[in-house]
A and B are shown apart, each in its own frame.
Chain A
Amino acid sequence: DVKVTQSSRYLVKRTGEKVFLECVQDMDHENMFWYRQDPGLGLRLIYFSYDVKMKEKGDIPEGYSVSREKKERFSLILESASTNQTSMYLCASRFASSYEQYFGPGTRLTVT
């Protein structure tokens, strides 16, 4: 079974804090993704990594950065958290040759 895990299910941070969201997959997938999910907006792609140390901006990268030092791990970084980054964050991964993305359970981040 493919497993995509995220470091926290719930997180509460203060405005201005640096926030790290971690995602780990155990299937040797090349591609990894970070999305945010907001009611009425569906999922929007923040960043994408097609392999180790490779990254590409998605549709809403502002205020975020990412790190992919190892194939199994993809980190999303909020350099200075703001209240408008309160959201559900979903990580996904897949083989480069496949259409199917496997999702983690999500991290609900609240910035106060």
Chain B
Amino acid sequence: QKEVEQNSGPLSVPEGAIASLNCTYSDRGSQSFFWYRQYSGKSPELIMSIYSNGDKEDGRFTAQLNKASQYVSLLIRDSQPSDSATYLCAVIFLSSGSARQLTFGSGTQLTVLP
């Protein structure tokens, strides 16, 4: 069974702090991992993708992947009020085959307090 688990939050951090968002997944053989940001009433937009163990940095965002622990995280440095949104973790499970379907977690709601 394909499962992606996230802490639903809400997670509140003060402006300028580091926000840490976590995700676990059920299939050890999965290869592709994504973080989407979704503002209230809007559609999801991709902010990070990661495929190999370790860290991947893009501006204020860092994705971390540990396949042995089946764990992927997103760090947001110098958090801004504009980062307030729901963050969705998504995984392409090995079992999805050529269809390469995404399985989404339920999302973590982040609020950055001014």
| A-B interaction | no
- Give A residues with C-beta under 8 Å from B: none
Chain B contact residues, CB within 8 Å of chain A = none
